[in-house]
Structure 1
Amino acid sequence: MRASPQWRGETFRNVRPVLPGLRDPAARMPTIREFLCGGEHRVPANPLPSLDPRDAWQRTPDSGLRATWLGHSTMLLEIGGLRVLTDPVWGPRASPSRYAGPKRFQPVPVSLREMPPIDLVIVSHDHYDHLDYPTIRALAKRDVPFVTSLGVGAHLEAWGVQPERITELDWWESHRVPGTEVVVTATPSQHFSGRGLKDRNATLWSSIVVQSDRHTVFFSGDTGLTTEYARIRERFGPFDLAMLEVGAFHPAWGDVHLGPDNAMEALALLGNPAFLPVHWGTFALAMHPWDQPVERLLELAPSRDVQLILPRLGEAVEPVQGARVAPWWRGVDAGAVPVVQEEDEALPAEMPFPID
């Protein structure tokens, strides 16, 4: 970790200056109470449509590349004959507490015990909505390897994952899955890390490139807009699929999250591959309405000539086949009484804010 170019003194850092206009200096940070209970339409009034993907997973993808959105940033990526799981979160809250903090809108379409054998787990960084204690504890009982960012392996090992199953990467470092053609590379992102007030930026955060002999996929993890996306395209493009975060955006922290508008800019830097949005529709992690990110994407996509992929939860899709973009989420709130964010117990005092 100390040998990393991203290490400075006692913590990691973002190496690129924040681009002008990303963070509004006049925007007030929401209070914890506002974050937990404020805002309108932050939670869907009814469960989101979801599918059981297990039948689809029994069939080999025709194109060799298939992605299934399981909620937030959890994806099952089928590439090069492997099943790769990104930022697995099955827990009920994105929080250190079972009783407080953002609660998921509904369960994952497939329980963790019903998941097929996983060949690799990728963890982009250590925030609670990406690194989930009960999920890792369950996965630790399986003989599955992990690839993650520098320092995050300490969490995994403490939670029961054997150290020989953990590979930590610095930016631009790669790992080939033994016996396969699949290569995972950690690439830059503009974010931060920490699960408490005393470990801010003690571990690295990364975006991820996954390559097989036929396909290349980009997974953003969490990030603000950065010119590093152009370098990533130069080194690894063209991409067949980009999975970019679009939710949990707020002007006060616009430098560390993309939101839909900056996701489109990042996509252009990546060469405009097929775009599957993630990091939305699962937790209320900002003040905007729960469906605002995808509604905004629908406004922007036609003028950008973007191949937008908006699957339902549990819907297995192959980017090469294209897909008709249907706003399946619009009926979720029809005829229902708006949901008011419940006021849970206070978040633990040692918890950082924003939490993701």
Structure 2
Amino acid sequence: MNVRKIFGVAAGALGVTWVVRAVWDIPSAIGASISAIQPYAAGAATYRNQRFHNTEPSTQLVAGAGPSLLYSALTKRNVGRPRVAVPVQTPSVPAEAADLAVTWYGHASALIEVDGYRILTDPVWSERVSPSPLVGPARLHPVPTPLSELPPVDAVIISHDHYDHLDKETIRELVVGQSAPFLVPLGIGAHLRHWGVPDHRIIELDWGGSISLAALGRERDGTDLVLTCTEARHFSGRGLVRNTTLWASWSIVGPTRRVYFGGDTGYTKAFAEAGAALGPFDLTLLPIGAYDENWPDVHMNPEEAVRSHADLCVGDPGHGLLVPIHWATFNLAFHGWSEPVRRMVEAARAAGTTVAVPMPGQRIDPNGLPPRDTWWEDVG
């Protein structure tokens, strides 16, 4: 018996199995085709030649970035990983939603409480942010709680269709486990339909478009909540073709409280415009991670997040509370794991901005902020 040959055949079979598993679901995970998206995108002010565009000059990568990116990929690939395990809290969910609070689940996934309503943002519960379950950026900390243990939510909002913000498996589970509508920028509804989300649960909006929960039949205790799709400076794409769907931030306005969810965006004049039209905001959730000198237009750095908070608070950096998102959960750039939050805290201190940095799973109530904690210093 040729033992070496038998092992070789077995290893080959295992290798083929792994490859098949890695690529099997990719077409479905990528989402809808351009032809399925186009009817819902056509007619938007920023949609030209079958692509969406930023209103400000923007590039995904600066000219000549290739050599710098190659060097970073070879020398800094693991610099964004924490030294020790990231601490995670089991979320404490009250029976009734508060006037204002937020529970951060990691990256851009958060449960926002506004005037008694609950809004879920960019829910991603999968292990990897990739079309394949076996290849791509993996979590740096576990999900704080199973998706099935979330309380009933009143709406799910999506900022754009990148894998770290729009996850097929999470969406499918929410369709079954929740009854809330999905509020998305133009074009993203095609992805949701492709994954089995019913039409009546999909609301697609252009920048400036608004919808009230009362209009959706979800009014609670005589109050209402208005959600507005606001301009962001970013890009989209789940395959080889970019910008076939719109990207956005979101304003959430109730009778007494106002919240702004940044999603993923570069610094933009649209923050000041949103502050003037819809603010000042009592709580801002703004991205502080995955920045790089090679893509400055489409991702904010920590100092720009603090500046954006002031814009959203109508020029008053001391108004409201800034909670950072889009850091700590996935290694998506070439900066240190804790660098974003360290830089943000320093910039906020200089500007006089109040910040709260929850660990994954921690609930933050601006009316009763916990004592200052620098938990990230022990991690990164």
TM-score class, shorter-chain normalisation, is 0.7 to 0.9
Deviates more, 1:314-323 or 1:106-115: 314-323
Q: Report the TM-score when normalising by structure 2.
A: 0.81
Pick closer, same or farther for the CA change 1:161–1:295 going to 2, 3 Å: same
Q: CA RMSD in A?
A: 2.1
8 Å CA contact retained: 1:221, 1:245: yes
Task: Work out the CA distance in 2 between the residues paired with 1:202 and 1:13.
Answer: 10
Higher relative contact order (CA 8 A, sep 6+): 1
Question: 1:35–1:108: structure 2 CA closer, same or farther, 3 Å change rule?
Answer: farther
One-letter amino acid matched to 1:189: A
* Corresponding letter in the other structure for 1:49: P
Aligned partners of 2:67 and 2:202: how far apart in 1? 36
Q: Tell whether the 8 Å contact from 2:96 to 2:116 is kept in structure 1 after alignment.
A: no
Are residues 60 and 167 of structure 1, via their aligned partners in 2, closer, same or farther at CA, if it must alter by over 3 Å?
Answer: closer
- Name whichever structure is richer in helix by fraction: 2
CA contact (8 A) 2:88 2:142 kept: no
Whether the 8 Å contact between 1:149 and 1:205 is mirrored in structure 2 is yes
Compute the displacement of 1:24 (Å). 5.8
User: TM-score scaled to structure 1, two decimals?
Assistant: 0.86
Q: Distance in 2 between matches of 1:325 and 1:297?
A: 15
CA contact (8 A) 1:48 1:332 kept: yes
Equivalences for 1:1-356 in 2 at 5 Å?
1-18=41-58, 25=63, 27-28=65-66, 35=73, 38-54=76-92, 56-58=93-95, 60-61=97-98, 64-142=99-177, 143-177=179-213, 178-180=217-219, 181-198=224-241, 200-271=242-313, 272=317, 273-332=320-379
By how many angstroms is 1:31 displaced? 5.0
State the Cα distance separating 1:25 from its structure 2 match: 4.7
CA distances 1:323-353 after superposition (whole Å, capped 9, x unpaired): 43321012225xxxxxxxxxxxxxxxxxxxx
**Separation in 1 of the partners of 2:326 and 2:162?**
13
Where 2:166 maps in the other structure, the secondary structure is: coil
Question: Distance between the aligned counterparts of 2:75 and 2:85, measured in 1?
Answer: 20
SS of 1:253's equivalent in the other structure is coil
Q: Is the 8 A contact 1:29 1:252 kept in 2?
A: no
Q: Which range moves more in the overlay, 137-146 or 305-314?
A: 137-146
Larger Rg: 2
Q: Which amino acid aligns with 1:160?
A: G
Deviations 1:247-271 (A, max 9, x none): 0001111100002021122122112
CA contact (8 A) 2:271 2:308 kept: yes
> Does the 8 Å contact 1:36/1:102 carry over to 2?
no
State the identity as a percent.
Answer: 40
SS in 2 for 1:330: helix
Higher mean C-alpha deviation, range 174-183 or range 217-226: 174-183
Confirm or deny: 8 A CA contact 1:70 1:314 kept in the other structure: yes
Query: Any idea what SS the aligned residue of 1:185 has?
Result: strand
Counterpart in the other structure of 2:29: none
Moved more, 37-46 or 311-320: 37-46
Q: Deviations over 1:39-94 (max 9, x none)?
A: 4531113321221124x433543xx1110000000000111222110000000111
Gaps of 5+ in 1: 334-356
Shift in CA distance, 60/165, structure 1 to aligned 2, threshold 3 Å: closer
Residues 281, 290 of structure 1: 8 Å contact kept = yes
